Structure 1
Amino acid sequence: MKLVVRVKLLPTPVQAEALEATLHACNQAATWAAGVAFEKDARRPLELRKHTYAEVRVRWGLGAQAAQHAIKKTCDAYTTLKANLRNGRYGRPGTRRHTRASGKPVVFRPDAAQPYDDRMLSWQHQARTVSIWTTAGRLKNVAFTGQAGQLEVLAQHRRGESDLMCQGGKWFLIATCDIDEASLNTHPAGFVGVDLGVVNIAVTSEGTKHSGRRINRKRENDRKLRSKLQNKNTKSARRRAKKHAGKEARRARDINHKISKRIVAEAERTGRGIALEQLTGIRERARLRKPQRTTLHSWPFAQLGSFIAYKAKKAGVPIMYVDPAYTSQECSQCHHTARANRPSRAVFSCRVCGFVDHADHNASHNIRQRGWMAWVCGARSTAPELTLIA
C-alpha cells in the first residue's frame, strides 16, 4: 500500500534562496516545454524530449535528471487535462469553459512542485538532513523535521520519487512510501456502520458520536470570520483570510485523522469491518435548509472517508460502501420507511413499531446492516491506493 508522507524542510536563508531559484527555473522550463508540446502535438515523454531536452538544459541550466523530470511533468499534466476533459470536468465539448481549457498550453505556477529522484536527493535519517540538487549546486545538510511516527515510516518504507514544494513560504518534501498491508480479515464478525451528518460529523452503530457542540461552535465562528473578512475585502483582510483558511483546513484535517483513527481502532479491536456511506453526490442528495447546507458543505467528508479507508486497509479491516438513500427514514428494527419517522432532525420515531432513537444512531444501524448484506452477497472491500498522512 502506498502512503505519502510530508516532511518540513528547515533551510537556511541561503539554502532557501537556492531552492526557490531551482523551483522557478524548473517550472519555467516546464511551461516552455508545455508550449512546444501544444504547438507540435508531442505529448509523450520520448517524443517531447526530442524537441525540448537540449534547450531546457542550456537555457535554464538544469541537470540531466531535472530536465527529464520537467519534461515528464509536462506530459503528465497533459494526460491529466485529457482525462478531465473526457470525464466532463470542464463541461461538454464546445462550451466556453471546455474550449478555454483545451485551446491553450498548460502553464505551471513558479512554485509548483518539482519531482526529485534518488540521484538528485539523498536522505540522512540519523542526522535528519537531506542532500538536494539545485541550480546553484548540491546543497548538503538541509535539515528536515516531522512527527516521530512519520519519520519512522519515511526511514523504513520510502520508495521512488519525492516532490519538492513551497507553500506559504515554507518548504516541504512529499515522499512516497510503500507499506506492507496487513492481511485482510475475510471473516468479519460484523460491521461498524458510520453515518455522516451535520450536527455530528460521524456517528457509529456502537453509539459513539464524533463532533459535538464545541467543534460546531468553532466551525460557526470560522464561518462568521471568513464572511466578515470577505465583505471587508481590503488587502490586509484578504491576507488574514488566506492565513485563516490554512489554519481552518489544518484543524479539519487533524479532526478527521482523529475520528478515522478511533473508528478503525474500534473495528479492528472487535474483529469487524466498516460500512461507510457512498459519498458521491452527497451535496446534490442532501435536502437541507440554507444554514444546514453551509454546515454540510464546509466540512471535508470525502477527506474523512479517505482517511478511514486507508487506515482500514493498513489494519486489514474490510470496508464496504453502501447507498445511503433513506437510511435516515428507515427504521433499523422493522425497516418501515417514511418521512414521518423523523419528527425532528435529532429524533427518529418509527410510526409502525414505535422504536425511538437518535436519528444519526438509527441511520448508522441501517448502514451497518447494508454493509453486512453487501459483504454476504459477495462484494469486495475497497480502499484508495495513495493517501497523504502528514
Structure 2
Amino acid sequence: MPQADQAAALSATLRTVNDLACWVSEVAFAHGVPREYELRKHTYPRLKAEGLGAQAAQHTIKKVRDAYTTLKANIRAGNLGKPTSKRRRKAESTPIRFRPDAAQPYDDRCLSWQYDQQTVSIWTLDGRVKNVPFVCSPDALKVLQQYRKGESDLIERDGVFYLIATCEVPEAETYEPDGFIGVDLGIVNIATTSTGYQAAGRALNRYRQRQLALRAKLQKKRTKSAKRRLKARVRKEARHAANTNHIISKTIVTEAERTGRGLSLEELKGIRNRVRLRKPQRVALHSWAFAQLGDFIVYKAKRAGVPVVFVDPGYTSQTCAECGHVDKRNRVNQELFICRGCGVVAHADRNASHNIATRGESVWNGGRESRAPATP
C-alpha cells in the first residue's frame, strides 16, 4: 500500500527493468540463448549504466534466462503444438517480450520485511524506499514470519502493487491411512467422493456461461465504456473458479483428516489432448479447472499429513463397484449406473468414486513397506 511518491518510484522501476529485460532477451536471442554466465558478459555493463543495482541487474538477466528455459521445456513437452504449428513457429522465431508491469524478483539484499510494523524496505531506481506499508490477513502474516524464504516478486496489476513471497511450509508427517476416500472429478459434478460428498458444478457452469455471453456482448459493442467494463472483468471468472476449488478441496481434505483416511485421485494429465468432443462441448472442457483443484487438494493434504495417491481413471465409470463387471452399457447416462452383471443401480459418479477408492488402496498397499515377519 505505497504512498503516491512511493508508488511512482515502484512503477518507474518495474517499467525500466522490464524494458531492459526485453533488450536482454533480444541479445540472448541474437547469440543463440547462451548460458547465464555468458549472457552476463554481453549485458551486465549496460544494465549497470542504466542505473540498475548489482542485484537487480543479476535478477534481470536470470529472469530472461529462466524464461527461455521455460519456453524450451514447453516446446519439448509439446505445449506449443507441432513443429509446423503457427504458435510454435512464432515462439521460436521471435525474442521473448516482457510486459511493462511483469514481475521482478527481489532477494533479501533488495527487500527487507518489518513484520511488526507491517512495512517493507525495497530497492528502486530512486534509491531505497523505506516504510512502505503492506496488508495481508493475520494468518498470512504468521506464515510470512515463520516460513518466508528466498526471493519475493513485485508486480503491478491494475494500478495495485503486490509482493508475492515464497514460503517453505514443512509438510506434516503422513499417517497410516485407515482406508481411502475416492474422488471422482467431473464437469457436471465438480467432485464426488465415496463418502457421499458431492460438489455440484451447475452454479459454476452457469456463471461461466453468463460471463461468456457478457464478454461476447461487450466485445461486439466496441465502445469505450464496453472496453472499460471488459478490462474491469479481467480475471474475475478465474478468481471465482479458484475460490470454488479452494472450498471444495478444503472440505475433502478435512473429511479425510477427520476420519483418518487417505485420498485417491484420478490421474487426468493430458486429458484435453486425449478427449475428442463436439465444438459446443469444448468450451466446458477447456474451462474445467481440474488440475487446479487437484493441486489444491494435494498441497492442503500435505499440510495436514493426509496420504494422497493417484490412480488410472480408465473404465472407472464403466466398472461396477459391487461385482467388478465392466461394460460400456453400464453407464446409462451422466447420472445413472445400472450394472449388466449384478443389476445394482447407483449414481454414476458415486460408483466411479468407489472404484477410485479401491484402486487407491491397492496402489498404497502395493507401494508400502512389507510388515510380514522374516522367513526363518
Q: Which has the higher contact order (CA 8 A, sep 6+)?
A: 1
Structural mapping, 1:211-290, within 5 Å = 211=200, 213-286=202-275
Partner SS for 1:266: helix
CA–CA separation in structure 1 for the residues paired with 2:347 and 2:19: 57
Matched, 1:173 2:127: no
Q: For the Cα contact (< 8 Å) 1:197–1:296, is it kept in 2? A: no
Q: Which residue of 2 aligns with 1:197?
A: 186
Matched, 1:39 2:30: yes
Matched, 1:24 2:15: yes
CA–CA separation in structure 1 for the residues paired with 2:158 and 2:16: 19
Of all paired residues, the percent bearing the same amino acid is 58
Q: Which residue of 2 aligns with 1:210?
A: 199
Q: Which residue of 2 aligns with 1:300?
A: 289
Partner SS for 2:367: coil
How many angstroms does 1:199 deviate by?
Answer: 2.0
Please identify, of 225-234 and 170-179, the stretch whose mean Cα deviation from structure 2 is larger.
Answer: 225-234
Q: For the Cα contact (< 8 Å) 1:198–1:292, is it kept in 2? A: no
| Partner amino acid, structure 2, of 1:315 | A
Change (3 A) 1:110 1:316: same
Q: For the Cα contact (< 8 Å) 1:92–1:98, is it kept in 2? A: yes
Q: Which residue of 1 aligns with 2:374?
A: none
Q: Which residue of 1 aligns with 2:338?
A: 349
Q: Which residue of 2 aligns with 1:315?
A: 304
Q: Which residue of 2 aligns with 1:53?
A: 44
Partner SS for 1:189: coil
Change (3 A) 1:66 1:149: same
Q: Which residue of 2 aligns with 1:375?
A: 364
Aligned residue pairs, count:
369
Please identify, of 148-157 and 82-91, the stretch whose mean Cα deviation from structure 2 is larger.
Answer: 82-91
CA–CA separation in structure 2 for the residues paired with 1:253 and 1:229: 24
| Partner amino acid, structure 2, of 1:193 | G
Q: Name the TM-score, length of structure 2 as normaliser.
A: 0.91
Change (3 A) 1:31 1:379: farther
Q: Which residue of 1 aligns with 2:373?
A: none
Partner SS for 1:165: strand
Matched, 1:120 2:104: no
Q: Name the TM-score, length of structure 1 as normaliser.
A: 0.88
Change (3 A) 1:297 1:32: closer
Q: 1:183 aligns with which of 165, 173, 176?
A: 173
How many angstroms does 1:291 deviate by?
Answer: 5.1
CA–CA separation in structure 2 for the residues paired with 1:345 and 1:95: 36
Matched, 1:140 2:140: no
CA–CA separation in structure 2 for the residues paired with 1:75 and 1:110: 18
Deviations 1:102-132 (A, max 9, x none): 2232221111110001111011111111111
CA RMSD of aligned residues (A): 2.1
How many angstroms does 1:341 deviate by?
Answer: 1.7
Q: For the Cα contact (< 8 Å) 2:111–2:123, is it kept in 1? A: yes
How many angstroms does 1:241 deviate by?
Answer: 2.8
Q: Which residue of 1 aligns with 2:69?
A: 79
CA–CA separation in structure 1 for the residues paired with 2:355 and 2:73: 36
| Partner amino acid, structure 2, of 1:236 | S
Q: Which structure 1 residue ranges, 5 or more long, are not aligned?
A: 1-9, 381-390
Q: For the Cα contact (< 8 Å) 2:119–2:134, is it kept in 1? A: yes
Partner SS for 2:153: strand
CA–CA separation in structure 2 for the residues paired with 1:90 and 1:301: 20
Deviations 1:215-259 (A, max 9, x none): 444343333323333443444334323422422111111111111
CA–CA separation in structure 2 for the residues paired with 1:89 and 1:216: 26
Deviations 1:270-311 (A, max 9, x none): 111111111213334556666554334323111111000111
CA–CA separation in structure 2 for the residues paired with 1:158 and 1:171: 19
Q: For the Cα contact (< 8 Å) 1:207–1:361, is it kept in 2? A: yes
CA–CA separation in structure 2 for the residues paired with 1:285 and 1:77: 28
Deviations 1:323-375 (A, max 9, x none): 21221121111111223222221111212212111111111111111111111
How many angstroms does 1:153 deviate by?
Answer: 0.6
Deviations 1:178-208 (A, max 9, x none): 11111122x2111111111122211111010
Q: 1:156 aligns with which of 146, 153, 160?
A: 146
CA–CA separation in structure 2 for the residues paired with 1:42 and 1:328: 48
Q: For the Cα contact (< 8 Å) 2:204–2:241, is it kept in 1? A: no
| Partner amino acid, structure 2, of 1:371 | G
Change (3 A) 1:227 1:368: farther
Q: For the Cα contact (< 8 Å) 1:116–1:163, is it kept in 2? A: yes
CA–CA separation in structure 2 for the residues paired with 1:294 and 1:93: 25
Matched, 1:63 2:15: no
Q: Which structure 2 residue ranges, 5 or more long, are not aligned?
A: 370-376
Q: Which residue of 2 aligns with 1:5?
A: none
